[in-house]
Structure 1
Amino acid sequence: MSFAVQAVGALLPSVPLLVGSTAVGLAADFALHRWQRNMAAALGKLHATVFVRQIVRDLLMMVGLIVIEDQDYEKKYLSLVCGLLIFYALHFACQAVAMLVRRTRTLPVVTRNIDASQLRLSPAPPALLMQRSGQRLLMFSLPSTAGLLTDATGGSARWAAAGIALSIAFALVAIGRLLPRLLPGRRPVTNEQALEWFEAWLAEYQPTVGMYFSGGTSSAYQANMWLEPLARLEGRPLIVLRERFMVRQIASTDIPIVCLPKVADLMRLEQSTLKTLIHPSNSGKTSQVLRIPTIKHAFVNHGESDKLSSCNPYAKAYDEVWVAGPAARQRYALANVGIDDKDVVEIGRPQLDVIEPYAGAAAGPYTTVLYAPTWEGWDGNPGNTSIIEAGENIVRTLLADPGVRLLYKPHPLTGSVVPQAGAANARIQEMIRAANAVRAAEHADERPAPSAAAELTRRTAELDRLTTSSSRTSADDAERMLLQSAPEPGRAAAVAAATAAWGAAFWASFPAWEHQIVTGARPNVYACFNAADVLVSDVSSVISDYLASEKPYAVANTSGLPEQDFRDAFPTVRAGAVLTPDASGIPALLESVRHPEKDAYAEARTELKLHLLGPSDPPSVVRFNDAARALCAAADEHRAGMAVRALAGIPRQRDAGATLESEHVRG
């Protein structure tokens, strides 16, 4: 619209239209690059890049100025046009130099919590010069645009010339900042030097057990839930990533992190002391690390449920499948997807230690209900999530009860596959905000003291400092380089303490009657478990994890199955209430929570907890460590066998049966 109005203002000519539309268009471009980067990228795919937009904007300004003058414009504006052309040429040159500098700074390995000072890496140039070419063009174009606008309002052409000259100066300064980075003495180490340093570090650190993860930004939670259990394992843990951006998404931890984007560099782990890798999820790149014969692999999953994804046939690619309890073992056996029972190891869920046990009826005037629907999944099954068919009914019914405080925590991927799920999620959040507005008017005098909000602000700043400091953001913003800092011992413990303090401050910062929409990383789902009196969810791993508390729960049935068939198909439902899409069972559910003597599923929850999560003795942490130790021993045995076969001259490429037979004969 701004371009259309600018064209009209240039051709009429109308100075107010020309100046106003140019200013609006430039402001809109800045807003796109600041808050709507996806829209800016979409425009780029239509070839309406920021460069095209800016040059059209300048072209229309020049047309307007020529029409306004209507005489002697050749001499007056030819120099201005030439100046703009010079500026755009310098912009291209700056971008080319930035690409060359970025290429020299893109090393084959990215690390975090590892002392990389031996590489003597220099700080990266400002991100505005290195990566944000669109913002750079808009920023550097401001003086030239301002000069042209001044000329259009009746000022002298000298203002336009001065503005263009200033834009050219900015571009020259930027190029001057970047060019020295290409000198031989200013370049970082070569790829081979970086890899040699990495191999030397591996030999010194001697990792034994690690976690392998590959995925998108929204899937980082799958890896983060295993950080604390991994840190408590015996040996020297390591985290192996494949995407550079993921280095920043891993939560604060003391564990060394390495990112190896290329397969050839990943294969260097074969010569390391790394024996075992756990895998929280499957990805296309998982098959690449499975090629390393010296490492044993265990699939631990990021959650267990009755959904088909919890018995994926891909799991047979791993040496072992570590599950929580007997239920998962039975699930794999019934699915008949090629997983041998001997390869299934029950370890419990070590990350559930933070969940508090059931303490009986809710204290206080409000019953806290956690509604945590899962996402729609990849298979298109309408019964995966309740948010589309039942979500608004569930939330509407809960909000209608004056004694309910609702915690709404949707799955991070909600709406990523089915747009209707995203739309329902937005409507639900709007319903909750409206309900809070009504309650705020009713409880105007019931607000926490201002000191509570101040305490939350202080705790947030403290936690942010611990989780976003230089030792955490070791990967690339624009530079894509290794961080020259050693790990800080005790950081994980400090983060854990700060997180607990932040959680206490968070729940104390709002009144007991206020509903909450929880979509960020904090508080996590386990903290919401502890705050809730009852859970409403779908068939998902949320149910299995929540059972660690033995609190009441309900499952929404949007599968179309009768209730008994639904319970038979999904064993995790058998110890909870089943809600129909109209949410008519909500009042009875709340009654059973408020009056525990009416709770018909208490014993069933205890039995189901044992079935899903296994026994409490030995603790899950101990069983997890025992499984890791046993798999490391198997890796040692396998390496010894490989060494024997190498001495015997048996090619490693032989199939397993022939190799074993030959080894038996030689023995």
Structure 2
Amino acid sequence: MEGPDKSGLSAFLASAPGARLVSSTIEVAALAALLLAAVASSRLWALAPAALAAGLLAWTWRGALRGGPVAVGKAVVPRVLLLAGAYLLGTVHGGVDPALAVGIAVAGLAVLSEAPLGMIARAAYPVTANLPGIGARPYRRPNTSRVVLVNGAAVLVALVCAFTDALGVIAAVVAVAALALSLFTVFQALTRARARRTSEANLSAALTAYEPAFVLHWTAPAGTAYQIAMWLPYLERLDRKFFVLVRGEANFNEAVALTKAPVVFRSRLEDMDDVVTPSMRAAFYVNTATKNNHLIRYTNLTHIQLNHGDSDKVPSHNPAFRIYDKNFVAGQAAIDRFAANGVSMPVEMFTVVGRPQVENVAVAAKPIASIANPRVLYAPTWAGFYADSNYSSLPFGYDIIKALVARGCSIVFRPHPYSRRSPVLNRECDRIQALLAEDRRVNGRPHVFGNQAEAKMSVTDCFNASDVLVSDVSSVVADYLYSEKPFAMVAVSTPATTFTDHFPLARVSYVIDAHGGRIQGLDAALDDLLGSDPLAATRQELKKYYLGDIPGERYAQRFLDEASRYL
């Protein structure tokens, strides 16, 4: 990984100690509001600390305010203290409106109900979707975030009423609504927890009756659905029953959105016995996640690693690939990569199946020099999980795009989906998009970026919409090789002079040297990339080495035939 994405105060506040400090600060501020309200001669003395406490509460819920999840049952103490402060404030300064007192008490009950709600909600996780015999409709945990937000609103309304002598009935109405929502969500959680237990009790029998021939096992961080999205259409074309086994709840929701095949969520090692049925012959994997081991221990299955891309990156020759019975690879380059990096693997562990995902990639119809204003696809990778796999060219992307635009090129900008998770790379994405938007406004060039390039267009669409590619060490480059169009690679982790030694695909690439923190040789690389293209012939030869010597008209069929052998 490139290191922590955040730095300074924001990084500390995002850490566990920082979160505890924020929580403690909230409680101290709430106590200050309580004490000052009791001794002050004016409500104004209590206004500042109460406002601070309320503001910090809102800060802790900022994710929920943007529509994201928030942990139920957090910051209960400061909210109860704020309610006590509101009551004491009214008592000291002229008596509490009975309706306000009711509102404060009911709001307190709503806040205190969050702890049991959280326990019940954690037991209401989904088990399966689309599985005959259990039900086709998936269910999700109840929305506890809205409970926290409404309860927080009840606390703030009570404070406002106490400070301003407003009608206490307003606080009472809001509090009753908050408690009603809490109780409804508790009921909903109980219902879903009971349904979850029923689903688990029936799961093994339902899967056995379904008679799947194979399983696709997937566990990965949220937002990584592209790993299975690229393989699901081809697994479905095998025309055999299968299901997707996921190990995280976020993965469950993402998988359900991608397929009509059954999706099963099992998180623990001991849950595996319920999902391995007598009819199953094989298990497919798309990454080398640690939890893959939970299923690999079943020796009655053939375990086949598909991976989610082929490139010269360090993860592509990970020794972890040894634990699979078969590694389906795109071409001979993938096999040689292991040996070249000291990872000894018997040749019989590999099967060359090509990259079926490129079957619809159009092959170049004419030389790049004949295209007056070429369209360039800029598809940088992300920073990786570890320092040895940080190949991203995004920190240099702005200068590269600026140079391309100056040459009259239009741009398709499609960064790796994880780029937005890094503040540094996120800022670079924004800079590039701003540059393209301004050039499109001023010069009318048909740049494509944002949601259009990243969501509405597939990777293949982006390939076919471009004349050349600029990327870095990425599986995108190997896939683009199928088009026989020219491409440039940005050397970030290694000097350009030794780049091809570490990343052989660069032999047919025009290398832009960015090692050491600054770009070198950009103009020369772009001259060749957009002009004479001296590597054209060599690129066609290397295509077979990386993507398999497979006839184009039956390219995807090679994978289907090989996979069917194990079913």
Residue equivalent to 1:387: 394
Establish whether residue 576 from structure 1 lines up as the match of residue 526 from structure 2.
no
| Paired AA for residue 376 in structure 1 | A
Residue equivalent to 2:231: 226
CA distance in 2, matches of 1:616, 1:561: 34
| Paired AA for residue 405 in structure 1 | S
| Paired AA for residue 91 in structure 1 | V
Establish whether residue 353 from structure 1 lines up as the match of residue 378 from structure 2.
no
TM-score of the superposed pair, with normalisation by structure 2? 0.80
Instruction: Name the SS for the 1:554 alignment partner.
Output: strand
Establish whether residue 166 from structure 1 lines up as the match of residue 166 from structure 2.
no
The answer on whether the counterparts of 1:537 and 1:554 sit within 8 Å (CA) in structure 2 is yes
CA distance in 1, matches of 2:193, 2:332: 56
Write out per-residue CA displacement over residues 47-98 of structure 1, whole angstroms, 9 at most, x where no aligned residue: 9x4435544554565566567x4xxx4x5479956862453134313542x3
Instruction: Name the SS for the 1:535 alignment partner.
Output: strand
Report matched runs for 1:212-611 at 5 Å: 212-250=217-255, 251-361=257-367, 366-381=373-388, 384-388=391-395, 390-401=396-407, 403-414=408-419, 422-440=423-441, 442-443=442-443, 512-514=445-447, 516-517=449-450, 520-563=454-497, 565-581=498-514, 582-583=518-519, 585-592=521-528, 594-595=530-531, 598-611=532-545
Shift of 1:387: 2.8
Bigger mean CA offset, 541-550 vs 364-373: 364-373
The answer for unaligned runs of 5 or more in structure 1 is: 447-511, 633-667
Write out per-residue CA displacement over residues 352-378 of structure 1, whole angstroms, 9 at most, x where no aligned residue: 113222122569864221222222223
| Paired AA for residue 244 in structure 1 | E
The answer on whether the counterparts of 1:101 and 1:181 sit within 8 Å (CA) in structure 2 is no
Q: Percent identity?
A: 26
Establish whether residue 89 from structure 1 lines up as the match of residue 109 from structure 2.
yes
Residue equivalent to 1:33: 64
The answer for unaligned runs of 5 or more in structure 2 is: 1-24
Write out per-residue CA displacement over residues 438-470 of structure 1, whole angstroms, 9 at most, x where no aligned residue: 541x35xx6xxxxxxxxxxxxxxxxxxxxxxxx
- Structure 1 residues 438 and 407, CA gap change in structure 2 (3 angstroms): closer
- Structure 1 residues 215 and 15, CA gap change in structure 2 (3 angstroms): same
Establish whether residue 204 from structure 1 lines up as the match of residue 137 from structure 2.
no
CA distance in 1, matches of 2:430, 2:213: 46
TM-score of the superposed pair, with normalisation by structure 1? 0.69
Count of paired positions: 528
- Structure 1 residues 190 and 63, CA gap change in structure 2 (3 angstroms): closer
The answer on whether the counterparts of 1:9 and 1:15 sit within 8 Å (CA) in structure 2 is no
Bigger mean CA offset, 227-236 vs 257-266: 257-266
Instruction: Name the SS for the 2:392 alignment partner.
Output: coil
Shift of 1:629: 2.4
CA distance in 2, matches of 1:104, 1:308: 39
Bigger mean CA offset, 248-257 vs 78-87: 78-87
| Paired AA for residue 264 in structure 1 | E
Instruction: Name the SS for the 1:238 alignment partner.
Output: strand
Establish whether residue 136 from structure 1 lines up as the match of residue 70 from structure 2.
no
Shift of 1:24: 8.2
For the pair shown, the structure with the greater C-alpha radius of gyration is 1
Shift of 1:285: 0.7
CA distance in 1, matches of 2:138, 2:328: 43
Shift of 1:606: 0.9
- Structure 1 residues 15 and 520, CA gap change in structure 2 (3 angstroms): farther
Cα RMSD (Å)? 3.9
- Structure 1 residues 181 and 54, CA gap change in structure 2 (3 angstroms): closer
CA distance in 2, matches of 1:171, 1:533: 57
The answer on whether the counterparts of 1:241 and 1:259 sit within 8 Å (CA) in structure 2 is yes
The structure showing larger relative contact order (alpha-carbon pairs under 8 Å, at least 6 residues apart) is: 1
